[in-house]
A and B are shown apart, each in its own frame.
Chain A
Amino acid sequence: MKNQNKHNHNEADLEDVLSQFADEERAGAKDIWQKSKKAARREDIVSEKEVDEALENVHFRIEQEKRSRNQGSSISGFILSNARYLVAAVALIILGFGFLFVPKTVTVPNAEIAEIKLPDGSSVELNSGSTLQYNRLFAFTNRDITLNGEAYFSVEEGEDPFIVEANGSATEVTGTEFNVRSWADDPAVETTITVTEGSVQFYPVDNSSKIVSLQAGQTSRLNIEMGSPAQPTASSEEHLAWRDNRLVFQQSPLIVILHDLERSFDVEIELDVEDMEYETLTAYYNQPANVETILEDICTVKGLRFTKTTSGYRIFK
């Protein structure tokens, strides 16, 4: 390493710096440059062992994220990966008929919104973190779909009824456009339907007598504990805000808001405060660029604080 200084690529830079000093000052400046190298600096000693542990940790986290990405990578934007077709082809050969009963699953990674075409020509916009399932006979003998999450359906006219099952609720249509929000991890496990075109039938999966009919411009919700859907009311366009990348919370419980943020920004948010989950909050964001400004607002309003953790954020008092 002895010769290294001679070829040091910083030398030209130093010349540039020194050239800006008057001739009589140049030697003094160079002297200071050399002396400053000795400045006492706080150097934390990082041991071999710490480096090994840190690298191991980094490997672990890269693998972990790769796994979770693979699970969700069945669709990324509009593109299905080739590997999926390959797997599907092999599965078709091996399983033959049995394969027809293996449902097809589409999961959208967090922080992404995807649009997919269904075999019957209907299209679905899926919000971050949502999962959609349908069987291989979809569009042949039925049009049954299972959803956990939030999706906007534009349904083509068809012979079979188009039925979306979401956490105990069923929404049945022939040809129309509507939004379904139904997250299994939200505390109330509520399904909210908003219709924008045509009409839909909305009922609990296991009790179709409790049916409610919704027209365009109406919304209804079903909490499975309650047994029957709420009477339809006029919908606000805020139910569809997610499709324009907007975030809208209207008197939403904190825990629901945090789940939404986790999915929209692909971070983990830990609420380390007791008895705050059901505190409600109203807030609107157009094209929110980062989760931190939103967390700052929430914390300001609720008298909380937050800090960054390795995988996201922790909110505390």
Chain B
Amino acid sequence: MNRPEKEQFEHWAEKIWQSDRRAFDSLFRSMYSQLVNFAATYTHEKSSAADIVQDSFISLWQNRTSIDPGQSLKAYLYRIVRNRSLNYLRNRSSEIAQSDIIVEERLQTAEEVNSNEKADELSEKFSEWIEQLPERQQEAFELSRFEGLNHEEIASVMDVSPKTVNNHIVAALKQLRSLYEEYSGKSSHT
């Protein structure tokens, strides 16, 4: 995966602050798919994730002049997408029946199974274990490991201190390690 680097984000942030539409488009093109997948880790389906990411970009553009230039644009984007995803989940839980959403989730799960058939057992295990982590640990770990954010950025996305992010990730690693040892112990005995 070809991910834009820090300098690129700084460049975009400056250009967008000056209302440069091309910089905005370029940021959108490089981040859209990644952010849709990130939002989908909360919403568990793609269409609402896509809506959330589009809304977030619109909000970024509308607030472009009030964005703190010292702040990481990447963290800023992840932060709005995360907040909007959590809002979306809160609204959705206020609905009593969720039949349509459940159907979508089921479809996705079937897809998931198909695409994962080829993936080896260990990588499946890891994703299972990560899913089992306490919510905040899981978020911090995924933002670090899969979204490539540094601790300071994760801290601003999750609205906690970098120290807390560090603690979450240490705790996550510890738990993953013990699950892994238990698993490899079992499989070597059989």
CB within 8 Å of B: which residues of A?
1, 4, 9-10, 12-13, 16-17, 20-21, 25, 28-29, 32-33, 35-46, 50-51, 54-55, 57-58, 61-62, 65, 292, 296, 299, 305-308, 310
- Contact between chains at B58 and A58 (CB < 8 Å): yes
- Contact between chains at A40 and B5 (CB < 8 Å): no
Q: Lowest 10 CB-CB distances: which A-B pairs, in order?
A: A46-B33, A39-B126, A39-B127, A40-B123, A38-B123, A40-B127, A13-B151, A40-B119, A305-B95, A32-B177
Report the Cα distance A50→B49, complex, angstroms.
Answer: 13
Determine the chain A residues whose CB is within 8 A of the CB of B88 once the complex forms.
308
- Contact between chains at A55 and B150 (CB < 8 Å): no
Query: Known contacts being A20-B166, A310-B55, is A42 close to B61, with CB within 8 Å?
Result: no
State which of A10, A46, A307 has its C-beta within 8 Å of the C-beta of B148.
Answer: A10
Q: A43-B37, A58-B58, A58-B61 are in contact. List 13 more A-B contacts (CB 8 A).
A: A12-B150, A13-B150, A21-B174, A32-B180, A35-B180, A36-B145, A38-B122, A39-B127, A44-B40, A45-B33, A54-B32, A305-B95, A305-B96
Determine the chain B residues whose CB is within 8 A of the CB of A29 once the complex forms.
173-174, 177
State which of B53, B91, B112, B176 has its C-beta within 8 Å of the C-beta of A306.
Answer: B91
Say whether B104 faces chain A, with CB atoms less than 8 Å apart: no
State which of A37, A44, A305 has its C-beta within 8 Å of the C-beta of B37.
Answer: A44
For this complex, 5 residue pairs linking A to B, each with C-beta atoms less than 8 Å apart, are A16-B151, A17-B173, A32-B173, A306-B94, A306-B95
- Contact between chains at A21 and B91 (CB < 8 Å): no
- Contact between chains at B166 and A16 (CB < 8 Å): yes
- Contact between chains at B112 and A42 (CB < 8 Å): yes
- Contact between chains at A54 and B54 (CB < 8 Å): yes
Determine the chain B residues whose CB is within 8 A of the CB of A21 once the complex forms.
170, 173-174
Report the Cα distance A28→B166, complex, angstroms.
Answer: 18
Find the A residue at minimum CB distance from B181: A28
Report the Cα distance A61→B59, complex, angstroms.
Answer: 11
Find the B residue at minimum CB distance from A25: B177
- Contact between chains at B94 and A296 (CB < 8 Å): yes
- Contact between chains at B150 and A10 (CB < 8 Å): yes
- Contact between chains at B124 and A40 (CB < 8 Å): yes
Say whether B108 faces chain A, with CB atoms less than 8 Å apart: yes
CB within 8 Å of A: which residues of B?
2, 5-6, 25, 28-29, 32-33, 36-37, 40, 46, 49-51, 53-55, 57-58, 61-62, 87-88, 91-92, 94-97, 108, 111-112, 115-116, 119, 122-124, 126-127, 130, 141, 144-146, 148-151, 166, 169-170, 173-174, 176-177, 180
Main secondary structure of the interface of A (DSSP, over half): helix
State which of B54, B108, B176 has its C-beta within 8 Å of the C-beta of A58.
Answer: B54
Determine the chain B residues whose CB is within 8 A of the CB of A40 once the complex forms.
116, 119, 123-124, 126-127
Report the Cα distance A32→B175, complex, angstroms.
Answer: 10
The listed residue with most B CB atoms (<10 A of its CB), out of A41, A50, A299, A307, is A41
Report the Cα distance A36→B37, complex, angstroms.
Answer: 18
Find the A residue at minimum CB distance from B101: A307
Determine the chain A residues whose CB is within 8 A of the CB of B123 once the complex forms.
38-40
State which of A25, A36, A54, A305 has its C-beta within 8 Å of the C-beta of B176.
Answer: A36
CB distance from B55 to the nearest CB of A (A): 7
- Contact between chains at B94 and A305 (CB < 8 Å): yes
Report the Cα distance A51→B50, complex, angstroms.
Answer: 10
- Contact between chains at A13 and B37 (CB < 8 Å): no
Determine the chain B residues whose CB is within 8 A of the CB of A25 once the complex forms.
177
- Contact between chains at B46 and A44 (CB < 8 Å): yes
CB distance from B60 to the nearest CB of A (A): 10
CB distance from B29 to the nearest CB of A (A): 6
State which of A41, A50, A57, A296 has its C-beta within 8 Å of the C-beta of B146.
Answer: A41
Report the Cα distance A277→B123, complex, angstroms.
Answer: 54
Report the Cα distance A62→B28, complex, angstroms.
Answer: 14
Report the Cα distance A1→B8, complex, angstroms.
Answer: 14
